[in-house]
Structure 1
């Protein structure tokens, strides 16, 4: 193949799947519908109910919005490839998918960082909470939590688009930066250096800030009463579970990217590569929906209203 002449890339992992691909398509479609329904319900309830227009709930809605954004960059293409006879994707579309999936992962960490800071202020500085976390400040932090990762991820993705591609076969279920870089026959050193720096600033730094927030929370809780500890634990537990699960799934994806095709069984490769796109978008709305009484009540009221309207509509 001529240097840099590649216009389409081939997703080789979808070949020779036989009829089992229809099983995967059905499971994937069900899962994607569940992700859409769960996260849209959370968004609707928090947006409609004025009582939930508080920093903690607005940040939860941002997590659901980010889940919808990230899965929209993966599932439609994935489901199409499962039932299609052709498994090619244009280089431009591949770079766009890479950008969406990477910014989804990075924004998840920045949003979790804001949630950790919100819990830190609420527990460690409760008397000053409403003066520190105002809606104006919150909206500015949310905008920064979106703009910062998008700006950072945009640079390595742009540099990747400048690399000449000398092969057209991707051995993953979706496009990512490392897979595209491996197809290049140009100088990879600049993009590898930039990618390392971006990984530190968009992944490691938010994780460090989250750990710092919870260390301070633990110190304060040690001085509090048993009732205070129980209340703090209840408000922090969903966030801790979300953070731990997402960190584990991202770690699995990063480790998997270092393996050569065929070194791991196909089933293991598929599961590890999709964890961060499947588990958090499903688990987060369920976790927050069941953990917080106010959200649970509002969801129940919303569903009750829908059933009543449907009944009288008939």
Structure 2
């Protein structure tokens, strides 16, 4: 099969995902585990989304942001898992040029939307704990809707800009050394100058580093405020600790992926490189909703109530 010629990007038909070379002997086992993992992600995130949507008492900014975080997880993992499972069961692991760019768009926007929503959650907790008397005026329904809209719109626009530059590159290769398409892996295949891509990429990374700095500063203020009173400590423990755990979870996962993509060594075992590449699509999507479901009291109580109601209905149906 002719996969690529060396003339220009219009000749690129398929990319080869060479990261699967390390999974050849375990494809059936890995595909089974991946299906279970994906079902777990859909199950826990879907349950949290439905719980928040169905319960009027959870229609508050903090829970709306959590709901968006879970929706984003389903969006991002859908861009990876179905294709990954198909590749594990296939004899050849390839992806079309257009499909590759689409996968890059979905996975990158998933990661950046995550940071945007986490920044909103940090701001929400800052206002709730440090400026409680102003909370309802600052975090009004219209403002919350606008903030949620921007948390999706800005990352989408950033990635459109990045991919527009990537799509203009002249490529001299077709092998992507990962389990899925990644923008930097495509850029490294270019046989033309990539100065503009590097500059724009660094600007986007810097932009989201500012998000992290904003979140850190917000939590510094939160901790200072929480230490002043017992009520502040209680609020911080109940509502801020889950956010902080999820932030650490997502930041570490993304940092591993970015550092490996740009500076990773080819001498590193392929299996380890594969794990570093997919852990951002595996660990945060499972752990984050579980953290929120277990620690946030309102969500936990509501989910327990819904499970009891479902169990009772099932028991009555069996009796009938």
Contact 2:129–2:232 (CA under 8 A) maintained in structure 1: no
Q: What's 2:258 paired with?
A: 254
Q: CA deviation at 1:305?
A: 2.1
Deviations, residues 279-309 of structure 1 (Å, cap 9, x unaligned):
1110111000010111111111212222233
| 5+ long unaligned stretches in structure 2 | none
Q: CA deviation at 1:125?
A: 0.5
Alignment of 1:140-155 (within 5 A): 140-155=146-161
Deviations, residues 52-79 of structure 1 (Å, cap 9, x unaligned):
1111111111110010011001101111
What is the SS of the residue equivalent to 1:185?
A: coil
Structure-2-length-normalised TM-score: 0.94
Q: What's 2:138 paired with?
A: 132
- For residues 7 and 17 of structure 2, what CA distance do their matches in structure 1 show? 20
What is the SS of the residue equivalent to 2:282?
A: helix
Contact 1:171–1:261 (CA under 8 A) maintained in structure 2: no
Query: What is the Cα-based RMSD across aligned positions, in Å?
Result: 1.4
What is the SS of the residue equivalent to 2:268?
A: coil
Q: CA deviation at 1:221?
A: 2.5
Q: 2:111 aligns with which of 91, 105, 110?
A: 105
What is the SS of the residue equivalent to 2:15?
A: strand
Q: What's 1:48 paired with?
A: 54
Q: 2:308 aligns with which of 298, 304, 308?
A: 304
Q: What's 1:215 paired with?
A: 220
Deviations, residues 65-122 of structure 1 (Å, cap 9, x unaligned):
0100110011011111001012111000000000100000000000000000000000
Deviations, residues 218-271 of structure 1 (Å, cap 9, x unaligned):
22234x223432332332100001001111111100111134664211221121
What is the SS of the residue equivalent to 2:143?
A: helix
Alignment pair present for 1:61 and 2:67: yes
What is the SS of the residue equivalent to 2:170?
A: coil
Contact 1:112–1:239 (CA under 8 A) maintained in structure 2: yes
Contact 1:78–1:174 (CA under 8 A) maintained in structure 2: yes
Structure-1-length-normalised TM-score: 0.96
Alignment of 1:253-292 (within 5 A): 253-259=257-263, 262-292=266-296
Residues 260 and 208 (structure 1), Cα distance of their counterparts in 2 relative to 1, 3 Å cut: closer
| 5+ long unaligned stretches in structure 1 | none
- For residues 144 and 201 of structure 2, what CA distance do their matches in structure 1 show? 29
Q: What's 1:115 paired with?
A: 121
Q: What's 2:299 paired with?
A: 295
Alignment of 1:64-79 (within 5 A): 64-79=70-85
Q: Which stretch shifts more, 207-216 or 100-109?
A: 207-216
Contact 1:6–1:166 (CA under 8 A) maintained in structure 2: no
Contact 1:166–1:183 (CA under 8 A) maintained in structure 2: yes
- For residues 265 and 87 of structure 2, what CA distance do their matches in structure 1 show? 19
Point out 4+ residue stretches in structure 1 off by more than 4 angstroms. Answer: none
What is the SS of the residue equivalent to 1:174?
A: coil
